[in-house]
Amino acid sequence: MITLFIIMLLVFNLFSSIFMLPLIINFISNSLKHVKNYRGKTICNFGGIFFSLNILCMCTISYMYLTLFPEGHGYKNEILIILLGVLSASLSGCIDDDSDEEPKGITGHVKSLFKGELTSGTIKAFIGALSSLIISFSKGFMGLYTFLDFLILCLMQNIINLMDLRPLRAIKSYIILSLIISIFANLNFLYTGMNSGIIISLIFYSFYEAKEICMMGDTGSNTLGMFLGLMSLNLKSISYKIVMLLFLIFVHVYSEHASISDFIERNSLLKKLDMIGRRKK
């Protein structure tokens, strides 16, 4: 059952990447909002819709498939949790992508809220916090574990977004983080299959982003960040979760006071990794 399930998801992602992705790129390029990227080129920032639809399709396939096997019924609630997390993250990302607000950072959105101004970033944070709260409590209240899960989900949703400032950077960040989490987490076949499928779709999508045809925007980065957060909830021990939380806090605090892009530019190894597949200036 497990082997066939994973193969099925991999085949689906190959199919969707070859046939669905070009159609979606054509649609967003002709119909949705465009913004200027870091080089001043006007491109569409809704490429992440592909990942939201892809994960939705994988959840549908998984739910229908597991219904056929008695041993798979226990995983159906997990699929609903993934759906809640991914769709809420995608919704909040779409709201932010369609907004004309300039990036404010967390402190900027908090200051605006105290002034009585509601921003798209505040709405995004509110939706993300509520969905994270539901998911964290879905298996019952377990004290510190539940609190850690909530914080990890809230912060992980935004981590890929912080990296989505240059072509391919968010893609590389997702792949690296997902592989690290896979090593230190007890992932069931559901997450293993879906994550493998997402990586396949990211590889195909990367050709469009490398050519600066589109970027994933908050719609994609929030969705991928949420899935990473859901994977992180399966880390093997509370120590790993604390380390992950400290890492997320550090990145968010650093991004509020300094530029992540400048940090990468100053580090020769990170700069070489960042430039792989990208157009030179």
pLDDT tens digits, one per residue of 20-29 = 999 999 999 9
For position 97, what pLDDT does the model report?
Answer: 85
Element (H, E) at 63: helix 49-67
- pLDDT of 108 above 80: no
The alpha carbon dihedral of 63, 124, 39, 263 has a sign of negative
- pLDDT of 67 above 60: yes
Of the chain, the end-to-end C-alpha distance in Å amounts to 49
Cα 18 from Cα 34, distance rounded (Å): 24
Site of tokens 């879906």:
194
Rounded to the nearest 5°, which phi and psi values hold at 32? -110, 175
Residue 14 identity: L
- Identify the three-state secondary structure at position 36: strand
| Mean pLDDT within 249-272 | 91
Residue 88 identity: S
For position 113, what pLDDT does the model report?
Answer: 67
pLDDT in tens, 158-215: 999 999 889 999 999 999 999 999 999 999 999 999 999 999 999 999 999 999 999 9
For position 254, what pLDDT does the model report?
Answer: 93
Provide the strand spans (E) within the chain: 34-36, 42-44
- pLDDT of 129 above 90: yes
- pLDDT of 281 above 60: no
Q: Where are the domains of the chain?
A: 2-275
Cα 70 from Cα 68, distance rounded (Å): 7
What band does 51 get if pLDDT is binned at 50, 70 and 90? very high
